Structure formats: C-alpha cells, structure tokens
Amino acid sequence: MSKKTAAITAVGAYVPDFVLSNKVLETMVETNDEWITSRTGIKERRILKEEGKGTSFMAIKAAEDLINKRGIDPKEIDMLILATTTPDMPVAATGAYVASQIGAVNAFSYDLQAACSSFLYGMSTATSYIESGRYKKVIVIGADKMSSIIDYTDRTTCIIFGDGAGAALFEPSEEGLGLQDEYLRTDGIGREFLKIDAGGSILPPSEETVKNRQHFVQQDGKTVFKFAVSNMADVAEKVMQRNGLSKDDVQWLVPHQANKRIIDATANRMKLDASKVMMNIQKYGNTTSATLPLLLNDYEKQLKKGDNLVFAAFGGGFTWGAAYLKWAYNS
C-alpha cells in the first residue's frame, strides 16, 4: 500500500477592491512607474482601506471562497493554520477568530509567522498532520495586511507591498498526490536586514518609537535581494535534484512574489521557460504570506491532475525553502 500523502483539494482567495497604482505612488513619494516596473515588475497592489478591518477580514473571505467552491461543511474542518505576519492584534490568535467566523467550530487554530515563507511552512505543517493520520481536513490561509506596517513616506518599501489573502485545503490522498518533498531553511543573520524594530518584547511601543517611525518595516533592499536570489534558486534546484526532476518534468514554478528579478533568477537556475512560471506580482505586489495561495487561485483553471509543481519562497528572518507537490484535481 502506498504511503498516505496530503493533497491540496481546493483553493480560495480574496483581495481588496482598492487599487494603489504606480501612478498614484508617484504622487506620494519620489518615484516613477518606469523605475518600479523595471526594478520589481510591480504595476499595482491592493490595499484594505476600510477602518477597523484587519487581516482576519481578508482571511475569512478567502476561506469562505474556498468552502463555497469545494462545497464542504465548515464543521468538517479539523484544523486551521493562519499564516500571517500582520495578525489582527499582538495577543489573541487571529486564526482562532477566523475559524469561529467561518463556522469551523470543530477546528483548532493558531497563527504561524515566518514572514514571506509562512504559507510554505504552513503547507509543511498541514501535510505532516494529515500524513500522521490525525486530521483529515486542514485549511492553510496565507493573509497579510501589509499596508498596516508600511511607511508610505519610504519609497524603498512602500512600492513593494500589498494586501491580500489566499487559502488552500489539505486532505489525504490515496493516489500519492500532494506534497512529495520539501527543503525548508532559516538563518537568523537575516533579522538585521528586514525587520520592524519596535512593538515587540525588545523595544515595546512608546511615544519615542512611534515618533521615530519604528513600527514600520525597514529593509536593506540590496542585501535582501542578494540572499533571496541565491537562496531561492538553491533550494528549488535542490528539490529538483533530490527528486530526479528535469526541467521537462516540472509543469509549474510557484514562486514567492517579491521581485520579478528574483523570480526570473530562480526560473533560470531551474532552466524553466517563462511559460511555466506563475506570476501575478504585476497586479498584487508582495502580499507576504498570501503570494503562493493567490497564485494557485489565479492559475487553478490551468492546473491538471498529476502536474508537478515546485514552490519556492524567501522571507524575513531569514526564512526560505522549496517544496515539490503533485497537483490533485482538474477544475
């Protein structure tokens, strides 16, 4: 009998209506559409504008989209992992609120924070729970309201990030489909180069920290770029080699959407044609935990049962990794 595997059996997504284009950013900071497009590939991003609405609002919408598409009863969900870097509040797990709001009353839930690798790590966690036989329906939601932690006077970060949410349901596969392998890494050296200084236990919030704008994301873009390019390509190549996959065996690269140049470098190392590379950075920017499930949702109709997908991500921490997954359904 073949080993029980964990397959993605449904996806869902939500992005806010408000579009922040490069043209509008030109009126906010000293930048221009040509610079942003050529350096990052981003044309516009979505922003959750409504007062009082946080990451949970988008996560709930994405999960409800998935539940409606798959036609499941939320009471069947055993577990919900909310991958996010922007929880509704520092204390009280946002995932618990999301689970209650979607009617997943039999599920337990928690938040998983690994910056832009959060969803990839969540895939690994969900898979392990399912392979163990303990749970049968696990939802992983990647959701981030990046606009809540971005300084819109800082042109080196505000052009990159956007808001959004995506969700994937993991269920056991008797056909060996789903997650086949993963290679996940971290290196704490990275926290100097991409971080929010204040608001945590080292530097609690104070008038001073607010005045100094220390509650916003700061990054050394060049250093992050360098690490992201080499590490994302390394792990993607490693997963291919380890599983004997040639470029012809891979139908899709599902790369974290941080910068088109980082994605291109990963695809080049894998020798993959651009037609096999999922990309939506032009319309959403970097939505942190949401990039991977948003891609799956956008490309769902093109995916075929048995397709080989290689996921690759890189994020603050540093955190990064790659995974090899066999797609489980035709839609």
Give the residue numbers annotated as catalytic, written as ranges.
Answer: 116, 256, 286
Strand partners, 79: 108, 138
In the complex, least distance from residue 194 CB atom to ligand COA, rounded to whole angstroms: 6
Q: How far is the CB of 86 from ligand COA (least distance, A)?
A: 14
- Residue 270 region, left (φ>0) first, then alpha (ψ -120 to 50), else beta? alpha
Cβ atoms 122, 140 nearer than 8 A? yes
Residue 161 C-beta: closest distance to ligand COA, Å? 8
DSSP 8-state code for residue 88: S
> Where do we find the tokens 């992992």?
81
Residue nearest to ligand COA (CB): 221
Q: What does the block give as tokens for 37? A: 């497009």
Which residues have C-beta within 8 Å of that of residue 264, sequence separation ≥ 6? none
Q: In terms of Cα–Cα distance, which of 300, 304, 250 is closest to 280?
A: 300
DSSP string, 82-116: EE-SS-SSSSS-HHHHHHHHTT-TT-EEEEE--GG
Residues 20/45, Cβ–Cβ less than 8 Å: yes
- Min. distance of Cβ 284 from ligand COA in angstroms? 14
Cβ atoms 201, 31 nearer than 8 A: no
Which one, 56 or 117, has the nearer CB to ligand COA? 117
Residue nearer to ligand COA on the CB measure, 26 or 64: 26
CB within 8 Å of 183: residues ≥ 6 apart: 235, 238, 239, 242, 321, 322, 323
Given the complex with ligand COA, which of 135 and 216 has the nearer CB atom? 216
Residues pairing with 309 in the sheet: 252, 325
> Closest separation between CB of residue 289 and ligand COA, Å?
11
Toward ligand COA, which CB reaches closer, 74 or 190?
190
Cα-to-chain-centroid distance, residue 49: 21
Q: Which residues bind ligand COA (CB under 6 A)?
A: 31, 35, 39-40, 116, 155-156, 159, 219, 221-222, 224-225, 228, 258-259, 286, 314-315
